[in-house]
Amino acid sequence: MPSSPPRTKYCYVKGHGNGQDDSDYILQALHECNNGGHVVFSQGTQYIIGTALDMTFLKHIDLDIQGYIQFTNDTDYWQANSFKQIFQNATTFFQLGGEDVNVYGGGTIDGNGQIWYDLYASNIYILRPILFGTIGLKGGSISDLNLRFSPQYYNFVANSSDVVFSNISINGASTSVNVAKNTDGWDTYRSSNIVIQNSNINNGDDCVSFKPNSTDIIVQNLICNGSHGISVGSLGQYLGEVDIVKNIYVYNISMSNASDGARIKVWPGVPSALSGDLQGGGGTGAVSNVTYDTMKITNVDYAIEITQCYGQKNLTLCNQYPSSLTISDVLMQNFYGTTSKKYDPIVGYLVCSSPDVCSGITVRDINVHSPTTGGDGFTCANIPETGLQVNCTTTNKGSN
């Protein structure tokens, strides 16, 4: 990654106190210390942000977050003013971008998510902001932060390159009966040369997800709990769009209490609806050169899942209109541990919508068993079995 020149100026962010919006003080410090400065959010200070902040002008600057930052719970304001990010109705509280920006400090960023979890339960069409928006950042790092109670994804990395995320703590479950949904740890989109490493994630959706046009990415040394796995996709959601995910390396992951360990999820070749606010299908593209190496599995429904019928409950229709998005040159190896009881004795799911769109898939050195029977079976269909060194005990033509 590119090295940063020395920071020669210090700016300390002031706070109004009494729950007032500190956005004006934050912007003042950023402008004063841009191009070679060091901005400090002081330890022991609580900062309130009630204004959508466009910080894509930053250049050669460090943000040293030692204090506590919390976004207001004004859901009407944020739905109207958060930054629209195009993909899947994603919006962000702020946009951090520019060139050579480092964020660190050991502090906390709090999305005030509980009000959003409860609101989403009554209206699935609300726009819930993403906690940390890395948008158009060229060179930089985000490290040593505590991310708490995000309304939706914790991190959205879009149109960015040469960025390292390290030593990030993610946590924030709902305290009501309304579950915190879609709280992905990281989603990458139209980004390259990204590293995500050495972090602890407790969430309710993908631990990391590689969205369309994510390339040259390393994910390593993560502890994931309660998630939907390390996922490629979903892809092929939008008709007329070409989704590319390639050159992905995932290494040394601990996955606990999750729906999946390693997962590749592709929409079918015909439009379908997974839910009212999540629907699609018919897009094209390719997944290639993807490696998952070394994963510890503990109480995970499927250790490995490949599906090209994501979002389509009509399996007959899915196979009639197979995905137009190809999957090739995938290696999954060195998995060990125990699945949950959900699919016992099946521990994995390898199902393409057509053998014409899947090739070069290798699954080997898998020492994963179901907890009750000790089974190690995989559901396999429409996928070349020459590279599958697993027990394909069940074969069908559909996908879950």
Peptide bond into 271 cis (omega under 30): no
Residues of the chain above pLDDT 70, percent: 98
CA nearest neighbour of 225 among 187, 256, 179: 256
Q: What average pLDDT score do residues 205-219 get?
A: 98
- At 280 the pLDDT is 83
Residue from 16, 38, 228, 369 carrying the catalytic annotation: 228
- pLDDT tens sequence across 234-278: 999 988 999 999 999 999 999 999 999 999 999 988 877 776 777
CA dist list (Å): 336 to 68, 89, 136, 254, 347? 39, 37, 38, 10, 11
Asked if the 9-394 domain carries CATH number 2.160.20.10, the reply is yes
Q: How much is the pLDDT for 88? A: 84
Tell me which residue of 290, 298, 194 sits closest to 253, measured CA to CA.
298
At residue 395, the pLDDT reads 65
pLDDT digits (tens, 9 = 90+) for 37-75: 999 999 999 999 999 999 999 999 999 999 999 999 999
Of the candidates 90, 92, 74, the residue with the CA atom closest to the CA atom of residue 82: 92
Predicted confidence (pLDDT) per residue in 94-130, tens digit: 999 999 999 999 999 999 999 999 999 999 999 999 9
Average the pLDDT over 313-329 and give the result.
Answer: 86
- pTM assigned to the model: 0.96
Residue 400: per-residue pLDDT = 39
pLDDT at 398: 40
pLDDT band at 399 (very low <50, low <70, confident <90, very high): very low
130-144 confidence digits (pLDDT tens): 999 999 999 999 999
Which of 147-156, 250-259, 294-303, 380-389 is the least confident region? 380-389
Residue 38 annotated among the catalytic residues of the structure: no
